[in-house]
Structure 1
Amino acid sequence: MPLHFELVTPEKLLRSEEVHMVTVPGTEGDFAVLEGHAPFMSTIRDGQLLVQRTAGGAPEPIAIRGGFAEVSDKGLTVLAEHAD
């Protein structure tokens, strides 16, 4: 099953899609999220989200600054202060 991923900035919803895995630059270190991950919240540091659309697919980097990530039974939501 795919992971539902949303990337949100104060201005707008940038992404809402089904992906295989997302690697997030957490303040305590990078962490990867797959479908079925336990509920979790983390602040994020400036860095790159790595979005892997399919298993074995090349990750797509998205530069982000600040914010937090929430993993819930609905998927992963990244609320970033800024994203490119």
Structure 2
Amino acid sequence: MADLHFELVTPEKLVRSDDVHMVVVPGTDGDFGVLAGHAPFMSTIRNGDLLIHRTAGGAPERIAIEGGFAEVNDKGLTVLAEKASIEG
């Protein structure tokens, strides 16, 4: 399967722009996973961890985020977060 283009943006900067296998987002109504080819979708997000899977079956990277929106479109996934901090 093709990679998913993922961008994480805060008001201060572009935190991440990368092609990954999957991202799990802490949506307001529950966590949701996004793979390449996902249907268009928009959601508010709650405080929590983005789980970024660079490869299928690989251990996820965690990035703590606070509030914002997530949008999936034909170009990939964009997360617009109020704050983001890379753990580790």
Regions of 4+ moved over 3 Å: none
Q: Distance in 2 between matches of 1:33 and 1:62?
A: 16
Give CA-to-partner distance per residue, 1:8-60, whole Å, 9 cap, x none.
00000010000000000000000000000000000000000000000111001
Name the residue aligned to 2:41: 40
TM-score (norm 1): 0.99
Cα RMSD for the two superposed structures: 0.3
Give CA-to-partner distance per residue, 1:52-81, whole Å, 9 cap, x none.
000111001100000000000000000000
Please tell me whether residue 51 in structure 1 is matched to residue 52 in structure 2.
Answer: yes
Q: Distance in 2 between matches of 1:12 and 1:61?
A: 18
What's the secondary structure of 2:19's corresponding residue?
A: strand
TM-score (norm 2): 0.95
Q: Distance in 2 between matches of 1:61 and 1:48?
A: 6
Name the residue aligned to 1:25: 26
Give the percent of matched residue pairs that are identical in Structure 1 and Structure 2: 79
**Residues paired across the two proteins, number:** 84
Name the residue aligned to 1:82: 83
Structure 1: runs of 5 or more not aligned: none
Name the residue aligned to 2:15: 14
